């Protein structure tokens, strides 16, 4: 939610205050951090399923991984 608000502010001609820049930085850091953590988990599960030879699960995990990306 905060990221969307900050995007709207960024598209205007108005300059950010120091506090607004910090909020934007923290918001993106949190969003990207969560995505990276999800991707790491999906990647790990994919590797485990590939090593087991479970192609059905690998296909499902790859599909979910594309959504995370």
User: For 4-62, how does the pLDDT look when each residue is reduced to its tens digit (9 = 90+)?
Assistant: 777 787 788 888 889 988 988 888 898 899 999 999 999 999 999 999 998 888 999 99
Q: For residue 42, which of 20, 65, 24 has the smallest C-alpha distance?
A: 65
Distance (Å, rounded) from C-alpha 42 to C-alpha 65?
6
Structure-token pair, residue 23: 């909020």
Give the C-alpha separation, 30 to 63, whole Å. Answer: 24
For the chain, what are the domain ranges? 2-68
Indicate whether this model's pTM tops 0.75. no
């Amino acid at each position: 939610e905060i990221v969307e608000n900050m995007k709207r502010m960024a598209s205007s001609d108005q300059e950010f205050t120091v506090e607004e820049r910090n909020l934007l930085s923290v918001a993106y850091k949190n969003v990207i951090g969560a995505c990276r953590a999800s991707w790491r988990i999906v990647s790990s599960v994919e590797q485990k399923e590939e090593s087991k030879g479970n192609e059905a699960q690998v296909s499902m995990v790859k599909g979910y991984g594309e959504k995370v990306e």
